[in-house]
Structure 1
Amino acid sequence: MSGNLLSIGKSGLFAAQTALTTTGHNITNANVEGYSRQGVVQATATTMERGYGFVGTGTKIAEIKRYSDEFLNNQVRSATASTASLDAYYAQVSQIDNLLADTTSGLSPAIQGFFSAVQDVTGNGASIPSRQALLSASETLAGSFQQIDARLEEIGAGVNTQIETSVNLINTYARQIAEINAKIGSYGSIEGRKPNDLLDQRDQLVMELNKHVKANVTPGGNNALNVSIGNGQPLVVGQQAFQLATMKSPTDLTRLTVGYQTGDKVTQLPESALVGGELGGVLEFRSGSLDRVQNAIGRLAVGMAFTFNAQHKLGIDGAARQGKDFFVQAPVSVKAAADNAVTSTGKVGAVITDPTLLTDSDYKVESDGSNFFVTRLSDKTRTKIEPYDPAGTTRSIDGVAFTISGTAASGDNYLVRPTVDGAANFQLAISDVNEIAAGTPIATSAPIANRGNGQISAGSVSADYFTASPSLPVTLGFDAASGQLTGFPAGATVSMTFNGATTTHTGSAPFKSGASYSFAGVNVTMSGTPANGDTFGINANVAGTADTRNIQALGALQTKNIFNGGSATYQSAFAQTVSAVGNKTREVQVNASAGDALLKQVQGAANDVSGVNLDEEATNLLKYQQAYQASGKIMQIANTLFDTLLSIGR
């Protein structure tokens, strides 16, 4: 009897000792990140049958239980990936928000200062200082465009660095998870004998991995965890770790992308597939905000250069010469993919033809071996180029004329970025104040001898004037009997626009007060009521210095709706970009705050299960200490009983 009692006491002593050790382990690891509370699960030892019944033989340790809920852990991992992505996005987009919102030295005051200088020349056409001030303001405007683009390029370089860092960390975590899978597997899969601390370490590595990319976790054989990312690409399978790699974009060697390494081959992964974590956040920021802002600023620069140059070339400079380009307009960026077939003869070119139709999107031109397709990357709108002539086919899409020729292999592609270089290459094209085309090449007059009150406008010209200019002077006369305006150049086609309707005439045209007449690039408007025989002169203008009609037209561009299909001015187009960035920044900030609150909530729920409560553990210490002492007392009593039995035998 005493022997059984001694064995029972010993089993209780060992159980209490194990419980004390486990409790101490909990207490000392309470502040270790990722540690899960452990507890001793006791079970009754096998009983022994006696004639009068079953007699207990003590206790045993059934399991060292790890308190961890995989459902809650998975919620924490998802929330961690989402929050890390939003935080990374916000850290980047807030830089652009601060850059564009600068009201003292940003682009908006530079545009305003430029047009103020244009207005000064309007009022002081012959003033050399005012013209010099215009050139200076133009240089300032160009510098502002270039500085913004340079800062955006710096942010893009920072994105490259962060991508490289994230990929290296992801690969490191993948290797470590695979190594721990191997260690856990070496212990076998006996129920109740799981290496709890290794499980904690592995779960924590998976949690850290989700800070860089969203990882999907599934159980594998032999207590392993399998980890996949993106569209199901395996990152860890059992004891094997797969690797990611950074690679240069085939169509932009300055841009890093993420590839999946299989042996010696690296396959580029779609950026849209890598969501969550810092890597997903910076990739989404680059495609969703950085590229669009750079394109939007470039679109503004290209549109301003295009429209300002077009109007400037309709004027004459101080030497009565046709105006030339005032600003340098950046060409469209077209880059063939580096992995296009070497046998391909396909060529793609692009030219901006209408700034009112430009978008902030890039375009992908790709071939299926027989046909070419143009895809607008912002919304994936795909346009088939048909009919297609390998000798050369031009198709206008969104204000850009795409010219495609040759034959290409299936899969060959080209990246077309109409406005990405607009701000970087925006600069002043003239350097002499005498090259400012402030005047208009024609001058009109109405003789004092006219008897009626008919008037002719100051006149303007179109681009046709410089390619097929009429022989000036031209004297228009009014014939009261026929109601015709005569004197137009022989053979010239006269377009008459009245009340929105346009008709064409030759030699003469009906006189209507308020009607506009155009011929050979000359545009005039007639008004009033002329008398029979009244004349109106159209002459070549040689006063290029004093005349400011063209500079007035240039100044009017400030308030002209040009962008977004003719619904936005220079300033409002820029304001829309600033507003879009500000709204996106605020949206990401709010979502990040909400995500952080959600993360804390699910972390709290997970900690309720796996976290160590020091008060509870202190109570357990006392409980197990008393159990240890009680078990020791049982052994002491057993020893006393045994001594009593021995004394009886003596």
Structure 2
Amino acid sequence: MSDLLSIGSSGVTAYQRALATVSNNIANVSTDGYTRQDVSLVANQPAQVGGGYIGTGARFDSVKRQYDAFVNANLRNSNSDLQSQAPLLSYVNRLIDVMGGDSIGLTMAMNRFFQSARELSTDPASVVSRTLFLRDADGLAARFRELASQFQLLDTETRQAVDTNVGQVNSLTTQLAQLNRQLAKEASESGQPSELLDQRDRLLGELSNLVAVKTKFAPNGAVLVSVGDTIDQGVLVSGIKSRDITVQTSSSDPTKLDFILDVYGDPETIPYFTSGKVGGTMSFRDQVLTPASDALDNLAAVVVKQVNAIHSDGLDAEGKLGGDLFGFTAGAEGKASAMQLVVQDANRVAAAGQFRVIDDPLNSGSAQARISYASPSYAGPTGLSGSLALGLRPQLGEETWRIDGALQYASAGLVQAGTQDLTLTLQTPTDTQQIQVLTRDGRHLAGSALTSQLQARLMQASNGMETGATYNATMLNATGSAAYMDMDIFIGARADVQQIQSFNSATGQLQAPVPTAAVLTGAALSGGVTASAIASGAVTINGVALGALAAGSSLSDVAAWINNSQTGLSANAKVTASVTSSGQLQIQRAASNLTDDIRLGLGSAGKPSDLKTLGFDTSLSIKGASKDDLLVFITDTSGNNTAVNVTSTFTGVEGTMKQLLRESPLQVQFVAGSSGGLDYKIVDTASNTELARRAVDLSVPNPIISYRGLRVELSTQPKAGDKFTIDGNRDGIGNNEAMLRMVNLENDKVMPGGLTMTESYIERVNQVGNVAQQASIAQQALEVVHEQAKQTRDGISGVSLDEEASALVRYQQAYQANARVMQTSISLFDTILQVR
């Protein structure tokens, strides 16, 4: 009977504990992070009776947590991904409200600015319209600043959110390290209290809300936590130690944040967070806020640059250049937060253009003209070639080229308009080398006649010529009023009146310069005689052709040769040639002539080598400022590959092509062209010089006239005899060209991607909206994934009241049955005792 009693007793004890475990599950059905527990019952060791074994009952073995590490890790990962979307979506929606709102967004402010410009263009002399334009310009700058301040508020708020979340991460990792210390008391996880393990998993779940983590569990249940690319990188918790994360502003980019582990111990930079609340906030900062802020700064910089380019190019109500309309506070250039209005006076608003075009009242055609200017772009040289550009007095520029025998020329570069007192000297020239000077429109101004083949080679756009330019030699070597724009261009040897500076010996003060007559001195000739003969008319002296000179002539013969050419001239107009004691040919004006220079030039058949025969170098000299861009070439018609050496000096470059055009009124004249067509001529009205002549494109309804950056657009086809005058608009305060350009800026594609400024801003708003939409979709999808992961985890570790109720009934019945066994055992024992 004792065996029966023992069996029943073991069952009662086992199922009593089973009932306690089920009851505990039911009691913790709503406990956050609780893991369902299950009992493990095993049979007792059977007893051998005779030839067999009889069972001895059951016993309670252990309580097991229903836990799956993989399922829980999947739940944490899905939770981190889901939690990243909430801050991202929230901040993005706020940014959309800021950028898209009428009270803060830029679209409305830019529309008002351009509308004010449009209204001012219709009445540029109106002070009211100018004032309203300044008001809306100031409003646009203020809108940029306000939008930038809202971006800064979001930056500050998200930085604080990151700091707060990282602080929570550090708190949780500290708690996990402390929990590991308690778990270290046992060698295996099976010996750990379930509540400690539940607390561990709960802390890991809270941590996954903030950042995505990797975990590795020790046999005793202690956890290693990492946020790196691998489990061994970015370790936050290892054993009983935790490492804090510190947030720092990046040293390489102040808009970025760096996450440093154990900053005061063994620092380790953590890779970029992509999940959890920290990851979501960082995604907003780095992928949305910073690009939007950079785009705003870039837009502000473009607006300031483009508007200022137009405004500073225009004329204000006083006829002065406009200057900048917008600017940035010092030290914050290019930042939207520092954008400000510079102009405060309505009269300083530059509405007029620097040029105007006036149609002749006698025009028979009905064409109306509109003018604009843009700096022209040419192929070919942009200045004097190579080291010649270094010849700013007192420096001497020098360059050597090889002339290809097939091409027969080399470019010496471009003499920019405004270049002062240029001298280019041809050193040791051959009989076939010559300096040639042409304009961009093919006007041959100085040099020698060119073959048709050489003309075609020089008249290439790659040499700096205007497209469609044609060769014209009508002003070749012309002087005085017949010269191009009355410019003083000379090729030969030249000496000017000199100004002698002296000091007053009594006072020690500088005296006024004293002029002295011009003196031209050559180099000493080898042997004192000329090496080559000079043909009649090849050399001129002050425009007077000299006769022939035989080879081997002595210097005294050369002096007599020059002096004999002066017969018939007045004493003041004459020059006198002599030989110095050093064996140099010297030519000088009369001492009383303090105004005229000396020019030893070349006739139509002359060559630079002829002057070299006399001991003189051949130079291109431009007295005063060049009034146009001039292209300089060195030609060699020998057909051989030869070398040429050139030196340069000049006193500077004053003004620009645009300034020179404003100072020189032009007239566009339409004349009959060849083959029944229509040509237009560009004429300098001051000198009556024809600067260019081109054909009118009769195939287009609105012909375009272009010259050195000037662009005249006609409303319809002109007629022969029509004239339009272009000037610098010195008194045209009612002109609206600059403001019309400002209006057109609204539709100009000045932003990357071929967008206007307004389109670029709207595009950025749309991009932020797309991020919000994608985040919303991702959030919905991740909610489904997270819910599935949660259901999987609950299916294993969660408490089901139905299942627990069923287990409770089952264990209760087993308990009662075992109690009945014990009762039966006692009853049987009592029966035995009653047997007499």
Q: Distance in 1 between the 2:370 and 2:203 partners?
A: 77
Partner of 2:681: 485
Is the counterpart of residue 518 in structure 1 residue 707 in structure 2? yes
1:507 aligned residue: 691
Q: Is the 8 A contact 2:354 2:662 kept in 1?
A: no
Q: In the alignment, what sits opposite 1:230?
A: 228
Task: Answer yes or no: is the 8 Å Cα contact 1:454–1:529 preserved in 2.
Answer: yes
Distance 1:486 1:90, change over 3 A: closer
Query: 1:357 aligns to what?
Result: none
The answer for unaligned runs of 5 or more in structure 1 is 334-418, 495-505
Letter of the structure 2 residue corresponding to residue 461 of structure 1: Y
Deviations 1:100-142 (A, max 9, x none): 2224653211111111111111122222122111111112212
Question: What's 1:538 paired with?
Answer: 726
**Equivalent residue for 2:800?**
613
Could you list the per-position Cα deviations for residues 446-480 of structure 1 after superposition, in whole angstroms to 9, with x for gaps in the alignment?
33345x54967332234656655542333455665
Match of 2:249 in 1: 248
**SS in structure 2 at match of 1:458:** strand
TM-score (norm 2): 0.61
How far apart are the structure 1 equivalents of 2:323 and 2:58?
99
Post-superposition CA distance 1:597-629 (Å, at most 9, x none) = 211122112111211112322333333233333
**Is 1:597 aligned with 2:787?**
no
Specify the SS of the correspondent of 1:131: helix
Report the structure, 1 or 2, having the larger helix content: 1
Q: Mean Cα displacement is larger for which, 129-138 or 100-109? A: 100-109
Match of 1:183 in 2: 182
Q: 2:664 aligns with which of 435, 453, 472?
A: 472
Cα distance in 2 between the residues matched to 1:537 and 1:89: 62
* Matching residue of 1:197: 195
Say yes or no: does 1:634 pair with 2:546.
Answer: no
Q: Structure 1 pair 124/16, CA: closer, same or farther in 2 (3 Å)?
A: same
How far 1:444 moved relative to its partner? 2.1
Change in 2 beyond 3 A, CA 1:96/1:491: farther
What is the match of residue 387 of structure 1? none
Say if 1:456 and 1:524, in contact at 8 Å, map to a contact too: no
Q: Which residue of 2 aligns with 1:56?
A: 55
The reply to whether residue 429 of structure 1 matches residue 430 of structure 2 is no
The more displaced of 280-289 and 537-546 is 537-546
Partner of 1:390 in structure 2?
Answer: none
Please tell me whether residue 445 in structure 1 is matched to residue 632 in structure 2: no
- Greater shift in the superposed pair: 262-271 or 234-243: 262-271
Distance 2:305 2:30 in 1: 64
Q: Deviations over 1:20-42 (max 9, x none)?
A: 21112111111111111111111
Name 1:623's counterpart in structure 2: 810
Q: Report the equivalent of 2:25.
A: 26
State the secondary structure of the residue aligned to 1:485: strand
Identity %: 27
- The answer for unaligned runs of 5 or more in structure 2 is 376-655, 698-702
Please name the residue that 2:267 is paired with.
266
Secondary structure of 1:579's match? helix
Contact in 1 for aligned 2:297/2:336 (Cα 8 Å):
yes
> With structure 1 as the length reference, what TM-score do the two structures score?
0.77
Q: Tell me the secondary structure at the aligned position of residue 61 of structure 2.
A: strand
Give the letter for the 1:439 counterpart. Answer: A
Supply the RMSD in Å over aligned alpha carbons.
2.9
2:328/2:339 contact within 8 Å kept: yes
Q: Which residue of 2 aligns with 1:282?
A: 281
The whole-number CA distance in structure 1 between the counterparts of 2:215 and 2:695 is 82
Distance change >3 Å, CA 530–CA 326, structure 1 → 2? same
| SS at structure 1 position matched to 2:181 | helix
- Counterpart of 1:89? 88
Q: CA deviation at 1:291?
A: 0.8
Distance 1:51 1:434, change over 3 A: same
- Cα–Cα, structure 1 residues 68 and 609, in superposed 2: closer, same or farther, change >3 Å? same
In the alignment, which residue of structure 2 is the partner of 1:299?
298
In structure 2, the residue matched to 1:337 is none
Work out the number of aligned pairs and report it: 543
Q: Quick one: which of 752, 760, 775 aligns to 1:564? A: 752
Residue matched to 1:403: none
Specify whether residues 643 and 468 from structure 1 end up closer, same or farther in structure 2 by C-alpha distance, changes over 3 A only: farther
Q: Distance in 1 between matches of 2:255 and 2:751?
A: 30
1:518 is displaced (CA, Å) by: 2.4
Distance verdict in 2 for CA 1:331–1:300, change over 3 Å: farther
Task: Tell me, in whole angstroms, the C-alpha distance in 2 between the residues paired with 1:15 and 1:568.
Answer: 80
Contact 1:220 1:238 in 2 (8 A): no
- The reply on whether 1:135 has 2:324 as its aligned counterpart is no
Name the stretch that deviates more: 236-245 or 56-65. 236-245
> 2:314 touches 2:350 (CA, 8 Å); kept in 1?
yes
Change (3 A) 1:490 1:517: farther
- Tell me if structure 2 keeps the 8 A contact 1:100–1:106: yes
1:476-532 CA deviation, whole Å, 9 max, x = no partner? 55665895614248999x9xxxxxxxxxxx93232425242223x544356745546
Cα distance per residue 1:377-415 (max 9 Å; x no partner): xxxxxxxxxxxxxxxxxxxxxxxxxxxxxxxxxxxxxxx
Structure 2 counterpart of 1:243, one-letter code? D
Stretch deviating more after TM superposition (94-103 or 76-85): 94-103
How many angstroms apart in 2 are the aligned matches of 1:113 and 1:529?
38
Specify which of 554, 560, 567 is matched with residue 742 of structure 2. 554
Does the Cα contact within 8 Å between 1:245 and 1:266 map onto a contact in 2? Answer: no
Question: Structure 2 vs 1, CA of residues 528 and 571 (structure 1 numbering), >3 Å: closer, same or farther?
Answer: same
Look up the SS of the partner of 2:187 in the other structure. coil
For residue 372 of structure 1, what is the aligned residue in structure 2?
A: none
Q: How many angstroms apart in 1 are the aligned matches of 2:329 and 2:79?
A: 43
Residue identity opposite 1:178 in structure 2: A
Residues 562-592 of structure 1: per-residue CA shift (max 9 Å, x gap): 2124x21122111211111111101100110
Looking at structure 1, the residues matched to 746 and 119 of structure 2 have their Cα atoms a distance apart, in angstroms, of: 14
Q: Which amino acid letter does the alignment assign opposite residue 215 of structure 1?
A: V
Letter in 2 for 1:241: S
> For the Cα contact (< 8 Å) 1:67–1:609, is it kept in 2?
yes
Out of 428, 450, 460, the residue aligned to residue 372 of structure 2 is 460
- Name the amino acid aligned to 1:580: Q
Per-residue CA distance 1:247-288 (angstroms, 9 max, x = gap): 2221455754311226535343342xx221011111111111
CA shift digits 1:205-236 (9 cap, x unpaired): 11111111111122334332222113232122
Please tell me whether the aligned partners of residues 163 and 279 of structure 1 are also in contact (alpha carbons under 8 angstroms).
yes
> 1:392 corresponds to which residue?
none
User: Residues 529 and 166 (structure 1 numbering): CA distance in 2 closer, same or farther, change over 3 Å?
Assistant: closer
Q: CA offsets, 1:543-576, max 9 Å, x none?
A: 45322121111011111222124x2112211121
8 A Cα contact 2:359 2:369, kept in partner: no
Any residues of structure 2 matched to 1:334-349 within 5 Å, and which? Answer: none
> Is the 1:475–1:537 contact (alpha carbons within 8 Å) kept by the matching residues of 2?
yes
CA contact (8 A) 1:444 1:537 kept: yes
**1:237 positional shift:** 2.2
Are the counterparts in 2 of residues 476 and 488 from structure 1 also a CA contact under 8 Å?
no
In the alignment, which residue of structure 2 is the partner of 1:239? 240
> SS at 2:32's partner residue?
coil
Q: Provide the C-alpha distance between the structure 2 equivalents of 1:332 and 1:599, rounded to a whole number of angstroms.
A: 50
For structure 1, which segment, 226-235 or 30-39, has the greater mean C-alpha deviation from structure 2 after superposition? Answer: 226-235
Does structure 1 conserve the Cα–Cα contact (< 8 Å) formed by 2:229 and 2:271? no
8 A contact 1:13–1:632 mirrored in 2: yes
Q: 1:446 to 1:98 in 2, by over 3 A?
A: closer
